[in-house]
């Protein structure tokens, strides 16, 4: 049989209880068919193609019977998708922060460091930071960075906030997005850190 999309899993699982199943990658079937079959591609032609592959030994058997291997494959694919999703969410957040507070990203090595995220959660707009004041802002920075930042850094941030131009006409939508994005990024980062292929394999051994 051919491993097409997700549709082969159930039938493979059931039939493999009673029969030896030869499971072929769709690319193998396409390659064999291109050489040996002419005309339209149909399920009947695919079935004959697979039979021919078994008869003439044109392709090796692919074994998917190893449960651990299948699980690892699923985990790795999902983790890759989470990392890709995370990258897109971060790009969107950078874009929104640039619109709300232009220049904010220049004050930190990354807007995604712990201190920056804490500031954005507490005071995402320049006006929020100014309302917070230097003492409260520095205390937040000091706690989240473990004394890494000096009071001068908080002062520099407030000075930039004073010179910032507000973006009133889409500010509400941007703030809603920023709040949502911060929560999504935190959750997905947690899921990525929670599962790593190496730790999963050690747990199975």
pLDDT, tens only, 47-60: 887 777 777 765 55
Band (pLDDT 50/70/90 cuts) for residue 117 is very high
Cβ neighbors of 204 (< 8 A, separation 6 or more) are 68
Looking at residue 25, its pLDDT comes to 73
Range of weakest confidence among 47-56, 108-117, 171-180: 47-56
Beta bridge partners of residue 62, listed in sequence order: 23
Looking at residue 64, its pLDDT comes to 54
For 119-148, write each residue's pLDDT tens digit: 999 999 999 999 999 999 999 999 999 889
Looking at the chain, the whole-number percentage of residues with pLDDT higher than 70 is: 83
The mean pLDDT of 110-116, rounded to a whole number, is: 95
For 182-202, write each residue's pLDDT tens digit: 999 999 999 998 877 666 566
Band (pLDDT 50/70/90 cuts) for residue 63 is low
Dump the DSSP string for the chain: -B--TTTHHHHHHHHTTTS---BB-HHHHHHHHHHH--S---HHHHHHHHHHHHHHT-S--B----HHHHHHHHHHHHHHHHHHHHHHHHHHHHHHHHHHSTTGGGSSS-TTSHHHHHHHHH--SHHHHHHHHHHHHHHHHHHHHTS-S-HHHHHHHHHHHHHPPP-GGGHHHHHHHHHHHHHHHHHHHHHHHH--HHHHHHHH-
Tell me phi and psi for residue 22, to 5 degrees. Answer: -100, 115
pLDDT at 62 over 60: no
- 97 or 55, which is more confident? 97
The mean pLDDT of 145-156, rounded to a whole number, is: 92
Range of weakest confidence among 36-45, 149-158, 159-168: 36-45
């Amino acid at each position: 049989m051919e491993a097409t999309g997700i549709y082969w899993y159930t039938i493979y699982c059931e039939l493999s209880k009673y029969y030896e199943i030869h499971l072929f990658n769709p690319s193998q079937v396409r390659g064999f068919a291109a050489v040996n079959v002419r005309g339209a591609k149909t399920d009947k032609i695919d079935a004959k193609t697979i039979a021919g592959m078994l008869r003439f030994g044109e392709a090796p058997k692919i074994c998917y019977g190893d449960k651990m291997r299948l699980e690892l494959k699923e985990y790795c694919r999902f983790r890759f998708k989470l990392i890709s999703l995370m990258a897109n969410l971060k790009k969107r957040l950078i874009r929104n922060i640039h619109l709300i507070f232009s220049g904010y990203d220049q004050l930190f090595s990354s807007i995604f460091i712990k201190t920056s995220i804490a500031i954005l959660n507490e005071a995402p707009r320049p006006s929020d930071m100014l309302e917070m004041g230097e003492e409260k802002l520095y205390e937040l920075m000091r706690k989240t960075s473990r004394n890494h930042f000096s009071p001068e850094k908080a002062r520099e941030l407030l000075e930039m906030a004073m010179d910032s131009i507000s973006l009133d006409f889409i500010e509400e939508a941007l703030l809603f997005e920023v709040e949502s994005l911060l929560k999504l990024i935190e959750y997905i980062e947690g899921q990525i850190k929670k599962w790593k292929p190496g730790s999963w394999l050690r747990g199975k051994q």
